[in-house]
Amino acid sequence: MESLIERAARDLASSHHAIALTGAGISTESGIPDFRGPSGIWTKDPEAERRAYQTYHIFLNDPKEYWEEILARLSLLGDLENAKPNPGHHALAELEKMGILKCVVTQNVDGLHDKAGSQRVLEYHGGVFKLRCPSCGSRFSRQEYDVERLRQEGQLPPLCRKCGSPIKGDVVHFNEPIPSDIAHESLDEAWKCDLMLICGTSSVVYPFAQLPRIARQRKVEKEQKAQSGLYLVEEVAATTIIEVNAEPTPLTREGISDYLIQGRTAEILPKIVETVKELSR
One-letter amino acid of 84: K
Q: Which is nearer to ligand APR, 218 or 264 (CB)?
A: 264
Smaller CB separation from Zn ion, 16 or 161: 161
Residue 14 partner contact from Zn ion, ligand APR, none using kind-dependent CB cut-offs of 5 to 8 Å: none
Return the number of the residue (127 or 158) whose C-beta is nearest Zn ion. 158
Q: Is 199 in a helix, a strand, or coil?
A: strand
Handedness of CA 11, 12, 13, 18 (dihedral sign): positive
Shortest separation between residue 23's beta carbon and ligand APR, angstroms: 3
CB of 208 to Zn ion, least distance (A): 25
Task: Please choose which of Zn ion, ligand APR, none residue 15 contacts, taking the beta carbon within 5 to 8 angstroms, the exact cut-off set by kind.
Answer: none
With CB cut-offs between 5 and 8 Å by kind, which of Zn ion, ligand APR, none does residue 87 bind? Answer: none
Binding interface with ligand APR (CB under 6 A) = 23-25, 28-29, 34-37, 40, 107, 125, 200-202, 205, 245-247, 264-266
Active-site residue, from 90, 113, 125, 173: 125
Taking a C-beta distance cutoff of 8 angstroms, is the pair 280, 16 a contact? no
Whole-number minimum distance, CB 45 to ligand APR, in Å?
Answer: 12
Identify which of 238, 219, 233 has the alpha carbon closest to the alpha carbon of residue 17.
238
90 annotated active-site: no
Radius of gyration of the chain (CA): 20
CA angle 231, 234, 273 (to 5 degrees): 145
Cis before 157? omega within 30: yes
Cα–chain center distance at 29 = 16
Q: Which is nearer to ligand APR, 164 or 248 (CB)?
A: 248
Angle between helices 4-13 and 265-279 (to 10 degrees): 60
- The catalytic residues are 125
